[in-house]
Copies of this chain bind each other. A is one copy, B any other.
Amino acid sequence: MTLAMDERRVALKLAYDGTRFFGFQRQPGTVTVEGSLMTALAKVGAIRSPRECGYRSSSRTDRGVSALGNVVSLRTEFPLASLCSAVNSELEHLWAYSAVDAPEEFNPRAARQRWYRYYLAKSRQDRELLNELSSRFIGVHDFSGYSRKDKRNPMRKIDSIEIADAGMFYAVDFRAESFLWNMVRRIVWMVNEGSCGRIPLDAIGPSAAEKPVRVGLSPPEYLVLMDIDCGIEFEVDKRARVGMLQTLERSMRDSGMRLRFSEDLLRSLE
């Protein structure tokens, strides 16, 4: 493979509504985040093919999981200042909103820290218990009970778990260099069950004395990959921003209206 004259490696920051895709990874015949991105990049002439562009991704989010700041990297000759807006014009529910130069060896997989947020619907949780149970997972642990089995090292270090009030939700923020498969959703399921009093408290924790029969999986639609620290400074693309503002205002109005409708109907049933 030969490098073209102006071809260089770039890092792209991506946001997407995970409910609109059948997962992240390319799969023939299904609409995935990667597949849609590659099609758009090829369509605007930024890449010839996924194979030839030296594509690398950071986090392969599960089907249904959204992202505000996933990171991919590839080589392109396309002018950096118009790459995001050109690609976005070919995309729906997926936006590239920052494109920066990166060294050829840059691999977004090797991130310093990943930040996931789970929007946990408020119900009967005991808020203090939610804090206490979550804190048991912070630090270095063997998380093999909180992931599907694979060959990876099950030791992980969770830097922090923070819980904030967010209207009808608790925003549960997880920060770690890396997570095992389904790890966040399994921990959320566990602390939620525990804080609602449905599981004995001493069965909860990465190395709990008494394991419950089964660690469940909280639904993916409420999980968002917020940001990844790859050691690169991303700056918001101004042109991409303008296009996104309109789309986002529209979808906020639509979601807000759907919410109103349900609330009003609920009131009609009283």
Chain A, residues 222-251, CB within 8 Å of chain B (1/0): the string is 101010000000001000010011001001
- Cα(A255)–Cα(B245), bound, Å: 19
- Which among A117, A119, A252 has the greatest number of chain B C-beta atoms within 10 A? A252
Query: A255-270: which have CB < 8 Å to B?
Result: 255-266, 268-270
Is A68 in contact with chain B by the CB < 8 A criterion?
A: yes
Is A66 in contact with chain B by the CB < 8 A criterion?
A: yes
- Count copies of this chain in the complex: 2
Closest residue of chain B to A270 (Cβ to Cβ) is: B236
- Please judge, given known A-B contacts A256-B167, A257-B119, whether A68 and B251 are in contact too, CB under 8 Å: no
- Please judge, given known A-B contacts A221-B257, A257-B222, whether A266 and B251 are in contact too, CB under 8 Å: no
- Cα(A258)–Cα(B259), bound, Å: 10
Contacts of A260 in B (CB 8 A): 119, 166-167, 169
> Number of contact residues on A: which range applies?
35 or more
Closest residue of chain B to A240 (Cβ to Cβ) is: B269
- Cα(A242)–Cα(B234), bound, Å: 49
Instruction: Establish whether residues A66 and B261, one from each chain, have CB atoms under 8 Å apart when the complex forms.
Output: yes
Contacts of A52 in B (CB 8 A): none
Contacts of A69 in B (CB 8 A): 268
Instruction: Establish whether residues B256 and A259, one from each chain, have CB atoms under 8 Å apart when the complex forms.
Output: yes
Instruction: Establish whether residues B236 and A248, one from each chain, have CB atoms under 8 Å apart when the complex forms.
Output: no
* Other contacts beyond A15-B265, A244-B265, A255-B259: 4, CB < 8 A: A68-B265, A68-B268, A167-B256, A256-B259
